[in-house]
């Protein structure tokens, strides 16, 4: 084996010496560069090199191969003219990110290193992720950093970073880049930039010119409609008036155990009707009128696409879509799972189900389950309808972790592995039982549910959320002892607030944004303070932005038009729409929108400035003053020292001089809840490098006293 | 014209768009409350002010209606 390697290695060196040239592979992330280089090197030990702090790798194979990575996007869209004080802006060009963004200085070294390596290369291979973003990253590097090599470059297409797949995708590289995909991607970036720069600048300039203070306000092609979804829901919640109704329940005693049966009509609209039922059933026995038993099959779940993984991780672990996306990306770069930014629910046989399960069999926690699946005569996954031309659904590669995963990575990998196994399982069989008990002419229902055959549920066990309600065996005509009948006062509930997972789902349903960008759009709404809290509450500022856009340029927040534009951009990918036409359409919409906004600039400025002022004040409010009970505790800054502290607003009226010191470092944020020990308002203090902690201002808080005593006891011991 | 509750721009009924939406909701739901509990408009307003499920704008508007002693359209007609 080693002799063969040596021969290949010698051969490679000879070829390179003759040709004097090498192949240059471009990847999207440094981890991917290292994996690809190691996979392609004959000794699986690529040589790590550095050019002004930029790592790259040398792999020896049939010829020398240099593998260098990008750092995500190295190029971006920027305006042709300099300055930020004008709009509309329709002239743009693609530039290195360090030209357009102050924080992207290190990109300069990356671009320089790639350009230097490109000079000696005779073969170019784009190995960035095979999707829209990856294709643009590769295209821009080949065009701008490598000197117009996009036309001669080959393309590696892979869904996992395993050695086997990388070698295959290298030897069977596609002869050219996917230009239709690139055109679609470029159009998407350009349209998004046009929307973002024009609308955000309009809002920011309007507010700044009115108040004289600068605050970054933003909106965009996807951000605006997403905020509109949230604002619509918030309006329904804030103007909601609940309606009363009543529920009647009977407590049934069966063999000494109490079961609760619900009245057949779920919501009773009047109190009188509820009381009539109550008096009719009081102190009466019930008779089992009918027992309805039904068996049904529960199909295995579908394989994960990014959206469903984000939804499941939020429901199970409370991870935001962005966090899930980042964890999944790390697992992909560790070659533990396939490419996560997929919208596919298909698992083609080419991924080698058996091979993956055999490898997973080496992990003790999955051994029993994988062995069971491997015994099946045929492995056929349950698949969904959604397809992705570039990648299959998310699946484990079969590789086991080479390093210790952190707890979030471990749990995500476990979830993906178990989901993968579950899709090969047989449908489970469940049984529902409905017992109808007649109490003096009124029907009450007892409902039970149980699993008869677990099947796929066993593979997905810790993550299954089906409830088991077992009922005792009963016979029709049997008399039952009714312990008591109760009437419960109820009210209808407002619609639930969106959370990061449900808003992502709503965006998917509406067809706005892409799987790669949705999570970031949601995060931006938080960053701009348009929404707050996990159950997303739209702030005054968020409302103002939506209201202004809806009033003066409804087209830019129209969900229908956004979806249409999204479809047009997708059509570029199949060559049935032209990038130029899509751009012209976007410019037309934006021109009329910015004209209308400019006309009302002063009014918009006033509206936004007031909302910003309110938002800033709200941010500073910590809670009601516990001393005077009428003022509010707010964060203030001392004129003398510039130090921050907490003071009561009634101080300015000469009514209350309550004040407390605050830590001078880090950020202080109201927790919106009172201390459980003393009921005073609390704040959360965050200092970089330390765990955030809760601070109660009450010097006599019993919790502080308890803690002090505990420390004293410990010291004594 | 300014909204009688929050000072935003208002329509001829002197409520802003948000409080107008809340007014419509309060007005619309009174029928169901009256049927369920046989209560007057004033009692209804006090009930919804107390209810934790009532939305913020609806609560503000109900408090305003109680203070101003405004009777419901249906009743006054």
How do residues A438-492 score in pLDDT, each as one tens digit?
999 999 999 999 999 999 999 999 999 888 888 888 889 999 999 999 999 999 9
Q: What is the pLDDT of residue A20?
A: 54
Two structure tokens written together for A325: 């996306």
Q: Do A493 and B37 touch (CB under 8 A)?
A: no
Report the CATH number that the domain containing residue A80 is assigned in CATH. 3.40.50.140
Closest to A67 measured CA to CA, from A102, A95, A33, A20: A33
Q: In residues, how long is chain B?
A: 77
Check CB contact of A365 with chain B, cutoff 8 Å: no
Residue A429's pLDDT is 96
Both A137 and A35 in a single domain?
A: yes
Instruction: Please tell me whether residues A146 and A16 are part of one structural domain.
Output: yes
Together in a domain, A291 and A313: no
Q: What is the four-CA torsion angle of A181, A183, A185, A188, rounded to 10 degrees? A: -140
Pick the last residue of a domain from A177, A197, A228: A177
Is A241–B37 a contact, with Cβ atoms under 8 angstroms apart? no
Q: Check CB contact under 8 Å for A244 and B56.
A: no
Interchain pair A269, B56: CB under 8 A: no
Burial (CB < 10 A; 0-12, 13-18, 19+), residue A557, is buried
Based on the residue annotation, tell me whether A245 is a catalytic residue of this protein: no
User: Do you know the residue count of chain A?
Assistant: 717
A157 contacts A165 by C-beta, under 8 angstroms:
no
For residue A635, CA distances in Å to A155, A619, A662, A667 come to 56, 9, 9, 11
Of A404, A422, A440, which residue sits at a domain end?
A: A422
Count CB neighbours of A667 within 10 A.
12
A632 and A680: one domain?
Answer: yes
The residue from A339, A463, A530, A552 that is catalytic is A339
Using the Cβ of B55 and the Cβ atoms of chain A, whether some distance falls under 8 Å is answered with yes
Comparing CB atoms, the residue among B26, B51, B56 nearest residue A238 is: B56
Strands annotated E in A440-539? 442-453, 479-491, 531-532, 537-538
Q: Is A269 in the B-facing interface, judged by CB distances under 8 Å? A: yes
What's the CA gap between A577 and A582, in Å, rounded?
8
Please give the full DSSP string across A428-447, using - where no structure is assigned: EEEEEEEEEEEETTEEEEEE
* Residue A99 confidence (pLDDT) above 50: yes
Closest Cα to residue A531, out of A561, A502, A562, A566?
A502
Pick from A235, A240, A270: which is nearest to B36 by CB? A270
Q: What distance separates the 2 farthest-apart alpha carbons in chain A?
A: 101
Check A238 against B48: CB less than 8 A apart.
no
| Most confident among A396-410, A545-559, A659-673 (mean pLDDT) | A396-410
> What phi and psi values does residue A620 have, to the nearest 5 degrees?
-80, -20
| Range with the largest mean pLDDT of A440-444, A510-514, A605-609, B71-75 | A440-444
Give yes or no: residues A47 and A170 share one domain.
Answer: yes
CB A50 within 8 A of CB A121: no
- Residue A4 above 70 pLDDT? no
- Give the mutation candidate from A241, A550, A611 for the B interface (greatest B CB count, under 10 A): A241
> Per-residue pLDDT tens for A627-658?
888 888 999 998 889 999 999 989 888 889 99
Whether A599 and A518 share a structural domain: yes
* Number of domains composing chain A: 5
Instruction: Give the domain range for residue A591.
Output: 185-238+496-612
Same domain, A151 and A38: yes
Residues A9 and A91 in one domain: yes
Per-residue pLDDT reduced to its tens digit, A656-711: 999 999 989 888 888 777 888 888 888 888 888 788 888 888 888 888 888 888 88
The CATH number of whichever domain residue A433 belongs to comes to 2.70.20.10
Instruction: Give the C-alpha separation, A647 to A659, whole Å.
Output: 4
Encoding tokens for residue A207?
């507010």
- Tell me if chain B has a CB within 8 Å of the CB of A17: no
Radius of gyration for chain A, computed over Cα atoms and rounded to the nearest angstrom: 32
Summarised one tens digit per residue, pLDDT across range A235-285 is 999 999 999 999 999 999 988 889 999 999 999 999 999 999 999 998 899
pLDDT at A14 over 50: no
Is the CB of B22 inside 8 Å of chain A's CB atoms? yes
Same domain (yes/no): A502, A578:
yes
- Band of pLDDT at residue B73, cut at 50, 70 and 90: low
Provide the pLDDT for residue A419: 97
Does the beta carbon of B29 lie under 8 angstroms from any beta carbon of chain A?
yes
B18 CB within 8 Å of a chain A CB: yes
B37 touches chain A (CB under 8 A): yes
Are both A329 and A460 inside the same structural domain? no
What's this model's pTM, rounded to 2 decimal places?
0.81
- Helix crossing, B17-37 with B41-50: angle to 10°? 110
When pLDDT is cut at 50, 70 and 90, the band that residue A312 belongs to is very high
Domain boundary among A470, A491, A512: A491
pLDDT in tens, B17-35: 889 999 999 999 999 999 9
For residue B75, the distance in angstroms to the closest alpha carbon of chain A comes to 19
Q: What is the mean pLDDT of residues A226-238?
A: 95
The CATH number of the domain where A406 resides is what? 1.10.290.10
User: Whole-angstrom Cα distance, residue A177 to residue A179?
Assistant: 6
Structure confidence at residue A230 (pLDDT): 97
Summarised one tens digit per residue, pLDDT across range A344-375 is 999 999 999 999 999 999 999 999 999 999 99
> In this predicted complex, what is the ipTM?
0.94
- Tally DSSP H helices, then E strands, for chain B: 4, 0
Residue B33 is nearest to which of A240, A244, A543, comparing CB atoms? A244
- Peptide linkage before A225 cis (omega within 30 of 0): no
- Give me the residue from A245, A270, A491 closest to B51, CB to CB: A491
Q: How many CB atoms lie within 10 A of CB A636?
A: 17
Q: Is A400 left (phi over 0), alpha (psi -120 to 50) or beta?
A: beta
- In terms of domains, do A155 and A15 share one? yes
Structure tokens at A684: 């959360």
> Do the chains contact at A238 and B26, CB–CB below 8 Å?
no
Are A696 and A647 part of one and the same domain?
A: yes
């Amino acid at each position: 084996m080693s002799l063969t390697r040596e021969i290949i290695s010698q051969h490679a060196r000879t070829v390179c010496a003759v040709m004097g040239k090498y192949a240059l592979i471009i990847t999207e992330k440094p981890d991917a560069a290292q994996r690809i280089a190691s996979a392609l090197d004959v000794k699986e030990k690529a040589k790590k090199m550095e050019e002004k702090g930029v790592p790259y790798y040398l792999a020896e194979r049939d010829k020398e191969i240099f593998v260098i990575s990008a750092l995500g996007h190295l190029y971006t869209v920027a305006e042709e003219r300099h300055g930020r004080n004008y709009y509309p802006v329709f002239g743009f060009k693609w530039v290195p990110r360090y030209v357009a963004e102050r924080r992207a200085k290190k990109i300069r070294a990356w671009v320089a290193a790639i350009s230097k390596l490109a000079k000696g290369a005779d073969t170019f291979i784009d190995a960035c992720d095979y999707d829209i973003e990856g294709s643009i990253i590769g295209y821009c590097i080949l065009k701008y950093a490598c000197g117009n090599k996009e036309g001669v470059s080959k393309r590696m297409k892979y869904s996992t970073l395993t050695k086997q797949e990388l070698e295959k995708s290298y030897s069977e590289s596609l002869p050219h880049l996917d230009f239709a995909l690139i055109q679609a991607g470029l159009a998407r970036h350009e349209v998004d930039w046009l929307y973002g720069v024009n609308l955000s600048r309009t809002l920011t300039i309007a507010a700044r010119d009115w108040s004289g203070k600068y605050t970054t306000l933003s909106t965009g092609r996807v951000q605006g409609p997403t905020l509109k979804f949230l604002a619509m829901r918030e309006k329904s919640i804030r103007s909601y008036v609940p309606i009363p109704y009543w529920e009647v329940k009977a407590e049934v005693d069966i063999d000494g155990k109490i079961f609760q049966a619900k009245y057949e009509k779920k919501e009773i609209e009047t109190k009188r009707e509820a009381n009539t039922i109550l008096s009719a059933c009081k102190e009466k026995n019930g008779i089992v009128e009918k027992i309805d038993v039904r068996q049904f099959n529960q199909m295995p779940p579908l394989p994960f696409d990014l959206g469903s993984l984000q939804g499941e991780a939020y429901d199970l672990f409370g991870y935001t879509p962005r966090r899930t996306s980042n964890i999944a990306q790390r697992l992909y770069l560790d070659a533990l799972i396939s490419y996560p930014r997929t919208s596919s629910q298909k698992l083609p046989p080419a991924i080698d189900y058996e091979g993956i399960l055999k490898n997973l069999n080496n992990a003790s926690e999955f051994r029993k389950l994988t062995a069971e699946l491997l015994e099946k005569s045929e492995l056929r996954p349950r698949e969904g309808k959604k397809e992705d031309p570039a990648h299959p659904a998310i699946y484990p590669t079969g590789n086991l972790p080479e390093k210790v995963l952190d707890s979030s990575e471990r749990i995500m990998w476990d979830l993906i592995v178990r989901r993968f196994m579950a899709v090969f399982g047989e449908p489970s069989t469940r049984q529902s039982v409905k017992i109808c008990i007649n109490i003096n002419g009124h029907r009450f229902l007892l409902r039970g549910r149980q699993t008869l055959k677990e099947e796929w549920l066993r593979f997905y066990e810790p993550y299954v959320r089906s409830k088991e309600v077992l009922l005792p065996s009963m016979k029709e005509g049997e008399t039952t002892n009714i312990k008591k009948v109760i009437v419960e006062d109820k009210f209808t509930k407002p619609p639930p607030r969106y959370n990061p997972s449900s808003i992502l789902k709503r965006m998917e349903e509406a067809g706005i944004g892409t799987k790669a960008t949705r999570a970031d759009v949601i995060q931006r709404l938080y960053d701009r303070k348009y929404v707050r809290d996990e159950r997303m509450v739209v702030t005054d500022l968020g409302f103002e932005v939506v209201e202004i856009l809806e009033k003066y340029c409804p087209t830019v927040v129209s969900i229908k038009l956004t979806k249409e534009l999204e479809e047009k951009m997708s059509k570029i990918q199949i060559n049935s729409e032209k990038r130029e036409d899509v751009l012209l359409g976007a410019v037309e919409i934006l021109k009329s929108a910015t004209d209308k906004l400019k006309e009302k600039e002063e009014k918009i400025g006033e509206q936004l400035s007031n909302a910003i002022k309110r938002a800033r004040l709200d941010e500073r409010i910590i809670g009601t003053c516990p001393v005077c009970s009428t003022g509010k505790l707010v964060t203030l800054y001392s004129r003398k020292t510039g130090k921050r502290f907490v003071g009561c607003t009634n101080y300015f009226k000469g009514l209350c001089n309550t004040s407390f010191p605050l830590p001078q470092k880090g950020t202080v944020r109201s927790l919106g809840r009172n201390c459980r020990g003393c009921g005073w308002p609390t704040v959360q203090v965050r200092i970089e490098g330390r765990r955030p902690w809760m601070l109660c201002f009450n010097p006599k808080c019993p919790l502080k006293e308890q803690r002090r005593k505990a420390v004293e006891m410990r010291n004594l011991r | 014209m300014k909204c009688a509750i929050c000072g935003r721009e208002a329509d001829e009924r002197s409520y802003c768009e948000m409080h107008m939406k809340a007014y419509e909701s309060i007005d619309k739901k009174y029928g169901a409350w009256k049927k369920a509990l046989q209560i007057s408009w004033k009692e209804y307003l006090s009930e919804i002010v107390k209810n934790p499920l009532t939305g913020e704008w609806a609560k503000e508007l109900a408090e305003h209606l109680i203070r101003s002693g405004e009777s419901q359209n249906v009743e006054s007609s």
